[in-house]
Amino acid sequence: MWLKLFFLLLYFMVLFLLARIFETVVWYETGMFATQLVDPVTLSYNKLKTILECRGLGYTGLAEKKDVSELVEKSGELTQGELYSAIKKAREQTEAGDSSTTTAFSGEMHFYELVEDTKDGIWLVQVVAQDQEAVLSQTNWGKMVLKLSQFGIRTGTFNCSTDFRSCVKRGWQRSMIIMSAPQTSASKGKVMLKEYVGQYIETEHIFRWMTSHLARRIKTVRQSAQLVEEWHSDPAHPVKMFLFTHLSQPPAFFSSLSVKFTGRIEFIFVDVRHWDNRSTLLDIGVTQSPSYILKMPEGIYHYGNSTGEFLSLAAMDTFLRSVQPEVNDLFVLSLVLINLLAWMDFFITQGATIKRFVVLIRTLGTYNSILLVSWLPVLSFWTLSYEKQLFAEGMDSVKVLNNLNLPNYYLWP
């Protein structure tokens, strides 16, 4: 009995030491002074551009360092930790080169399953018409893939030579660039396709075109009366993420997160450049611009005041997932905990090593089987809720049953 307790205590001590080691590594990478503010004026022009790249703000036409530093200040306070993280990410992307993954669609069904059927992601697809050249060269397409990957935007190439009939059916008679994103803010809403018809075929111009369309999905508030209305509790959207800023449109990472958390968190962009009533901002606790405020039924939270809360997609995504986790996140967490409990039998079982592994395999199989069976009612409930939502949106029973198999052959106007 005492031996079992000893191994159990040893097991938790090892977990505790591993957690402390991982925390030490994170502390070492981010630096001891990660929360200290940095004055953008003191940074070089290249470092300022790196910060804007990570935040997803265009700087085309800003040749002066003063203008770039002002844009950084308008987008949010800069900390040592964010600066270190942005420089490290830029260095890793430079070393990676063209190794970033992009999808090569094999045909109509492959394109539909990944782009149109997913309904909760953003895609940029380069369509190469038969016997024609691609709109972007291989080098520029590689740069585009690297730029979009840091905002969770997936990329792919559809070569019409592999499925010419599908290209004819969709009207893809020439090479083009197509963007895919959910049309509405409803969970699992319709996916719409938009063709790039800009005059300049350059990475920065295509990126600015994408971010402008993504920004239109976010509800924009420009008057105090509208803000008061949005600030009140809404049963349909109990959790809201507000961005108060002097920018003309939200950063790309903010727009990308609005797509990822569609149906769970409502993102609202508050343009305070020509605000008519400053007292309204003070009443709700907004004392500076920009401010990222998460409003929940439990209260409000000012994002950016704690360690690691950078103005980037990865940092804010981790934070929001802790507030509104996906079903998949809960499943993974329960899977990890169940397997950790199963591994305890390896330490408390008496006997030879072979006997311990036999008991471990048996316990792993039993625990995981129980876990999967326990999750079946949860998945059934989620499916029923999804069908009710589709019915509420006016879809008939046939479309509900075949919703995941209905292609969308339409383009944004």
Q: How confident is the model at residue 188 (pLDDT cuts 50, 70, 90)?
A: low
Give per-residue pLDDT as tens, 262-314: 878 889 998 888 887 778 888 888 888 888 999 888 888 988 877 778 888 88
pLDDT at 35 exceeding the cut of 70: no
Instruction: Give pLDDT, residue 398.
Output: 39
- Residues of the chain above pLDDT 70, percent: 83
Phi, psi of 182, deg, nearest 5: -60, 140
pLDDT at 192 exceeding the cut of 70: yes
In the predicted model, what is the mean pLDDT of residues 217-244? 84
Q: Say if residues 244 and 291 touch (Cβ distance below 8 Å).
A: yes
Low-confidence winner among 16-30, 73-87, 135-149, 347-361 (lowest mean pLDDT): 16-30
In the predicted model, what is the mean pLDDT of residues 157-186? 85
Dist CA 334 CA 149 (whole Å): 29
The residue behind tokens 């397997």 is 339
Q: Say if residues 210 and 260 touch (Cβ distance below 8 Å).
A: no
pTM surpassing 0.85? no
Q: Which long-range contacts (CB under 8 A, 24 or more apart) does 35-38 make?
A: 35/79, 35/80, 35/81, 35/307, 36/79, 36/80, 37/77, 37/78, 37/79, 37/80, 38/78, 38/79, 38/80, 38/83
Instruction: Give pLDDT, residue 189.
Output: 58
Dist CA 286 CA 294 (whole Å): 12
User: Is pLDDT larger for residue 305 or for residue 107?
Assistant: 107
Which of 190-194, 236-240, 367-371 holds the top average pLDDT?
367-371
Q: How confident is the model at residue 402 (pLDDT cuts 50, 70, 90)?
A: very low
In the predicted model, what is the mean pLDDT of residues 45-64? 82
Q: Any bridge partners for residue 179, and if so which?
A: 124, 194
Instruction: Give pLDDT, residue 102.
Output: 85
Phi, psi of 130, deg, nearest 5: -65, 135
pLDDT at 392 exceeding the cut of 70: no
Which of 27-31, 180-184, 311-315, 396-400 holds the top average pLDDT?
311-315
Instruction: Give pLDDT, residue 184.
Output: 63
The one-letter amino acid code at 321 reads R
pLDDT at 30 exceeding the cut of 60: no
pLDDT at 361 exceeding the cut of 60: yes
Instruction: Give pLDDT, residue 413.
Output: 35
- DSSP secondary structure letters along 300-325: EEEETSSTT--SSHHHHHHHHHHHS-
pLDDT at 25 exceeding the cut of 70: no
Instruction: Give pLDDT, residue 242.
Output: 92
Q: How confident is the model at residue 387 (pLDDT cuts 50, 70, 90)?
A: low
Low-confidence winner among 16-25, 192-201, 388-397 (lowest mean pLDDT): 388-397
pLDDT at 407 exceeding the cut of 60: no
Angstrom distances, CA of residue 361 to CA of 146, 355, 365: 42, 10, 6
Tokens standing for 352? 């030879």
Low-confidence winner among 246-250, 328-332, 384-388 (lowest mean pLDDT): 384-388
Instruction: Give pLDDT, residue 2.
Output: 66
Q: H-helix or E-strand containing 387? A: helix 353-392
The sign one gets for the Cα dihedral 389, 393, 396, 402 is negative
Among residues 354, 366, 295, the alpha carbon closest in space to that of 324 is found at 295
Q: How confident is the model at residue 177 (pLDDT cuts 50, 70, 90)?
A: very high
Provide the pairing of β-strand 291-296 with 240-245.
antiparallel
- Residues of the chain above pLDDT 90, percent: 5
- Angle, CA of 173, 174 and 177, to the nearest 5°: 120
Task: Give the side-chain half-sphere CA count within 13 A for 63.
Answer: 1
pLDDT at 334 exceeding the cut of 70: yes
